């Protein structure tokens, strides 16, 4: 079976960590013989002479090999913040030449798309055009945000109707998909997985020594895009409340260090907030890191925090748990399903004061990190891959 994976969020030579969870699932699915996977990862057209962070789009090659997979990057027209209604149509039509290039080497039997909009709409157009079944995975903001916009909702409903199967990465997301009129028997709940060979528990002292971070201060970690909805500003303000209220005095008497790993459009604003609160000695912006290096950071941390405004099934939380690190997270999306035991962490209202209080309590508590790691590693990518392959077979059989 020849499968075309269609998603605009996929690693590239320019952004090697972008959409890494899609690549992880592909690896697991590709473990089956007689199954070929190619990738269509559209990129917005941007002139090479343009300024701003989006000029990096122009550096993405038209075709490249990523970890053994052929990855095609057709350009589509996207006008930031306006014309959003037509993103899916533009992405689909502009991907036709690249799709023809893929089919010259092998006919496509199925399209495996990720994110309902605009990717799912574009993939639905292509599946109709070449007459193959579509499996569409929804991941969070595509349903919780994009599908709630009046001009986008009809497009999303159409793509969900075209899809043979809809994969939701959490039960909460599956409920939202059902509310859009999709039959429940068509929806499969398959959360993201974990590679236990990549994310596992190790002694904190060993991890800190390898990273060269202070050994005598409690360490709090968050990983994610530096964008408003990820709540990095909430965590910085929480550190300010620690200091302001003296709650920062943990059992060690040492002030915690907050490490924020990631890049994004809010970096300058976050740097300003750190200066405004005089937290230069307590908050560090690490920047973006290769995915395989995160295991040391998760293990070095006493606590992992995620103050997101919205989420589907955040892999960073699952990775932290697999390393045995307790988690504090806002109760959004699939988070209550991930933190299904109080031994793994705590759901916290999304406010700086609430996180400051929860951080203090969590740092004073004794956690069984080995037990957390065992629970965090229950859902492996291998199990995810098996379930996805079963959906592929089902879709192809029903289409025959």
Q: How would DSSP label each residue in 376-388?
A: HTSSBHHHHHHHH
Tell me 312's DSSP state.
S
pLDDT of residue 51: 65
pLDDT of residue 169: 95
More confident residue, 243 or 357: 357
- The average pLDDT across 23-37 equals 90
Taking the CA atoms of residue 124, residue 189, residue 42 and residue 29 in that order, the dihedral angle to the nearest 10 degrees is -110
pLDDT digits (tens, 9 = 90+) for 121-167: 999 999 999 999 999 999 988 998 888 899 999 999 999 999 999 99
Domain chopping of the chain, boundaries: 2-193+380-399, 204-376
Residue whose C-alpha is closest to residue 359's, from 215, 242, 272, 209: 242
Question: Which of 68-82, 91-105, 359-373 is modeled with the greatest confidence?
Answer: 359-373
Does residue 54 surpass a pLDDT of 80?
Answer: no
Q: Is 194 helix (H, G, I), strand (E, B) or coil?
A: strand
Q: How far apart are CA 239 and CA 352, in angstroms?
A: 8
If one looks up domain 2-193+380-399 in CATH, what number appears? 3.40.50.2000
pLDDT of residue 145: 87
- The average pLDDT across 169-198 equals 95
- The average pLDDT across 52-75 equals 88
Does residue 192 surpass a pLDDT of 80?
Answer: yes
195-223: string of b/e by CB count within 10 Å (b at 16+)?
Answer: beeebbbbebeebbeebebeeebbbbbbb
- The average pLDDT across 347-375 equals 96
Q: Could you check whether 2-193+380-399 and 204-376 share the same CATH topology?
A: yes
Residue whose C-alpha is closest to residue 305's, from 269, 251, 356, 240: 356
How confident is the prediction for the chain on average, in pLDDT? Answer: 92
pLDDT of residue 81: 67
CA angle, 345 as apex, 361 and 217 as ends, to 5°? 50
Share of the chain above pLDDT 70, in %: 96
pLDDT of residue 50: 61
Is the dihedral angle over the CA atoms 125, 130, 134, 139 positive or is it negative?
negative
Write down the pTM of the prediction: 0.91
pLDDT digits (tens, 9 = 90+) for 276-322: 999 999 999 999 999 999 999 999 999 999 999 988 889 999 999 99
If one looks up domain 204-376 in CATH, what number appears? 3.40.50.2000
Does residue 46 surpass a pLDDT of 70?
Answer: yes
List, as one string, the DSSP characters of 243-265.
HHHTTT--TTS---EEEEE---T
């Amino acid at each position: 079976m020849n499968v075309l994976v269609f998603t605009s969020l996929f690693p590239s030579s320019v952004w090697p960590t972008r959409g890494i969870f899609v690549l992880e699932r592909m690896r697991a699915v590709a473990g089956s013989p007689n199954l070929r996977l190619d990738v269509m990862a559209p990129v917005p057209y941007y002139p090479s002479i343009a300024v701003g962070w989006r000029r990096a789009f122009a550096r993405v090659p038209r075709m490249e090999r990523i970890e053994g997979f052929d990855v095609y990057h057709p350009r589509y027209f996207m006008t930031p913040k306006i014309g959003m209604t037509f993103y899916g149509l533009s992405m689909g039509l502009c991907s036709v030449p690249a799709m023809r290039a893929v089919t010259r080497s092998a006919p496509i039997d199925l399209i495996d798309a990720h994110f309902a909009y605009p990717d799912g709409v574009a993939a639905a157009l292509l599946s109709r055009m070449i007459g193959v079944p579509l499996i569409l995975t929804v991941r969070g903001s595509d349903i919780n945000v994009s599908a709630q916009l009046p001009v986008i909702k009809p497009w999303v409903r159409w793509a969900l109707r075209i899809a043979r199967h809809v994969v939701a990465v959490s039960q909460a997301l599956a409920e939202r998909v059902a509310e859009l009129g999709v039959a429940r028997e068509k929806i499969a709940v398959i959360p993201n997985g974990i590679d236990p060979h990549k994310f596992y528990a190790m002694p904190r002292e060993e991890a800190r020594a390898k990273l060269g971070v202070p050994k005598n201060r409690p360490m709090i970690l968050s990983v994610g895009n530096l964008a408003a909805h990820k709540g990095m500003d909430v965590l910085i303000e929480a550190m300010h409340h620690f200091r302001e209220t003296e709650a920062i005095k943990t059992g060690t008497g040492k002030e915690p260090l907050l490490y924020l790993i990631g890049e994004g459009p809010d970096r300058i604003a976050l740097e300003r907030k750190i200066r405004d609160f005089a937290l230069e000695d307590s908050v560090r912006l690490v920047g973006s890191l290769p995915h395989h290096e995160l295991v040391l950071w998760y293990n070095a941390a006493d606590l992992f925090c995620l103050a997101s405004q919205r989420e589907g099934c955040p892999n960073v939380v699952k990775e932290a748990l697999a390393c045995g690190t307790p988690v504090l997270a806002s109760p959004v999306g699939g988070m209550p399903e991930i933190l299904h035991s109080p031994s793994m962490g705590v759901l916290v209202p999304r406010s700086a004061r609430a996180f400051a209080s929860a951080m203090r309590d969590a740092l004073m508590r004794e956690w069984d990190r080995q037990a957390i790691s065992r629970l965090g590693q229950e859902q492996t990518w291998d199990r995810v891959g098996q379930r996805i392959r079963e959906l592929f077979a089902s879709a192809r059989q029903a289409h025959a």
